[in-house]
């Protein structure tokens, strides 16, 4: 198909508001407030939240309220904050387990031993990225270690602190010995393939959250691998059907499981349930939640 020039004009906030009215949306907030939201949230950013309210004729369904769109937008923001909190705790824990096991087994600099890793091209690429992060770091401990010692990178227990989530996932995935990967995975009572899949999925999710992208009803291209044998306590809580699997619910189940291990006294599950109570109009099925989700042990802690 031949491309055509983009010839749609720039619209003022007032014109954007009028366009919504013409397409059938009911502006149930004062005009200055509507235009304030358009001025600070971006028309096209908000369009991701009113997409589900559109009909095939590009008109909004009858009864579509502007306040519902803003409510959905705010829910998604609060959800991303909650997700980032869980990702941070999981990331720090995985860093710790990776550093402890490799340091205990292979000494201070296992990252510099290419024989411990399976794919040498991936190894070289990931090591180069890690060295770049080290050179950019202004952390006192990194500056001290690189300035005092002759090795190309600091010891594993220090260098993990400057690994990104993506790098952490790559180092774990590329471990040559399944015994190494399984030792780390056993800390979370799962097998290495499930943990590897989850770390890759978390890398994608973290990028979405960090760039303020919509996640509440997003269909993820890469979905986490659903455990078959362990952890047994949460297996029944997962959604196995194709479409629900692509939604955020399964991610929430796995996060809750890992946080129960990492920080048994956490309140993350309670905060998630409270978030859903605070936004009662949110359609949880569009997030992949099963109707009976609250009956599972995962959500009763």
228-246 tens-digit pLDDT: 887 777 888 899 888 889 9
- Residue 244: the pLDDT is 87
CA distances from residue 60 to 38, 63, 64 in whole angstroms, order as listed: 18, 8, 6
Instruction: Give the C-alpha separation, 278 to 130, whole Å.
Output: 41
Rg (CA), the chain: 23
Residue 85 lies in a domain: yes
Residue 215 lies in a domain: yes
Residue 294 lies in a domain: yes
Q: Is 290 exposed, middle or buried (0-12, 13-18, 19+ CB in 10 A)?
A: middle
Instruction: Give the C-alpha separation, 210 to 205, whole Å.
Output: 9
Instruction: Give the C-alpha separation, 64 to 23, whole Å.
Output: 10
Residue 59 lies in a domain: no
Q: Are 234 and 227 in contact (CB under 8 A)?
A: yes
Question: Closest Cα partner for 167 from 131, 137, 118?
Answer: 131
Residue 68 lies in a domain: no
15-55 tens-digit pLDDT: 999 999 999 999 999 999 999 999 999 999 999 999 989 99
Given a cut of 90, is residue 135 above it in pLDDT?
yes
Total number of domains constituting the chain: 1
- Residue 242: the pLDDT is 82
Residue 266 lies in a domain: yes
Range of the domain at 133: 76-299
Instruction: Give the C-alpha separation, 292 to 241, whole Å.
Output: 15
pTM value is 0.93
Question: Closest Cα partner for 166 from 222, 212, 82?
Answer: 222
What tokens does 73 get? Answer: 């937008």
Residue 51 lies in a domain: no
Residue 87 lies in a domain: yes
């Amino acid at each position: 198909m031949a491309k055509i020039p983009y010839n749609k004009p720039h619209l003022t906030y007032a014109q954007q508001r009028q366009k919504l009215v013409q397409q059938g949306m009911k502006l149930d907030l004062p005009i200055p407030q509507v235009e304030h939201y358009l001025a600070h949230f971006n028309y096209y950013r908000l369009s991701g939240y009113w997409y589900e309210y559109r009909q095939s004729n590009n008109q909004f369904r009858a009864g579509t309220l502007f306040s519902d769109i803003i409510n959905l937008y705010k829910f998604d923001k609060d959800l991303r904050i909650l997700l980032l909190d869980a990702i941070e705790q999981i990331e720090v824990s995985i860093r710790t387990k990776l550093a402890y096991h490799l340091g205990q087994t292979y000494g201070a600099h296992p990252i510099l031993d290419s024989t411990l890793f399976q794919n040498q091209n991936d190894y070289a690429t990931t090591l180069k990225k890690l060295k770049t992060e080290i050179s950019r770091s202004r952390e006192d401990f990194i500056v001290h270690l690189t300035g005092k010692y002759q090795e190309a990178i600091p010891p594993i227990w220090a260098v993990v602190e400057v690994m990104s989530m993506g790098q952490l996932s790559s180092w774990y995935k590329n471990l040559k010995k399944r015994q190494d990967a399984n030792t780390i995975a056993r800390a979370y009572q799962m097998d290495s393939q499930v943990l590897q899949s989850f770390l890759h999925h978390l890398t994608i999710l973290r990028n979405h959250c960090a760039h303020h992208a919509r996640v509440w009803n997003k269909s993820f291209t890469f979905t986490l691998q659903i455990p078959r044998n362990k952890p047994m306590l949460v297996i029944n809580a997962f959604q196995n059907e194709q479409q629900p699997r692509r939604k955020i619910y399964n991610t929430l189940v796995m996060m809750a499981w890992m946080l129960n291990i990492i920080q048994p006294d956490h309140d993350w599950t309670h905060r998630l349930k409270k978030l859903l109570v605070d936004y009662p109009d949110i359609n949880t099925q569009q997030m992949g939640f099963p109707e009976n989700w609250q009956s599972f042990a995962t959500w009763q802690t």
